[in-house]
Structure 1
């Protein structure tokens, strides 16, 4: 068996994916780097208080190994004040390995200073 045997049933790797915000006149856009993830491995949730949570879990195993590797993340961010939380959506670009979260702006939102 040698090197092909794994003592632990699962080897878990928690990580924080790199992400960045961008914006235009129509909305805010969160880009999350998730190379090698599949659409069904990523979850997007928006709560009424204006927070968005992106989480994911990916199970992999090496050929000839008895180990299962779990790569997972969980990230909660506060949405900008002018966000339309009822229309937030997410889309994974498999080719680029980027998860795009689209946060439309509320129409006629005025910033209070």
Structure 2
């Protein structure tokens, strides 16, 4: 059976893992931004439905690129906020668990 110290250490390691995961996530943000910009120039040529018109045929190309890049940035920002909130929630839960383990008789 695990001792109290081992369980506390395990929870502390889980906290460090979640923090490390979020740091690795943040390191990939510049690459995601570059990918979003690159896709912003390609996306207007992709038709919505096979045989249908593409975004660049519906409106001017530069407007379609700006809309596409704006959409990709919104997705990147939304993903970052979601990942940050999930990481913070996991860390909060693990800290509470560690606190309760420390207070356990």
Structure 1 length as normaliser, TM-score?
A: 0.25
Q: Which has the higher strand share?
A: 1
Structure 2 length as normaliser, TM-score?
A: 0.26
Greater length-normalized contact order (CA 8 Å, ≥ 6 residues apart): 2
Q: Which has the higher helix share?
A: 2
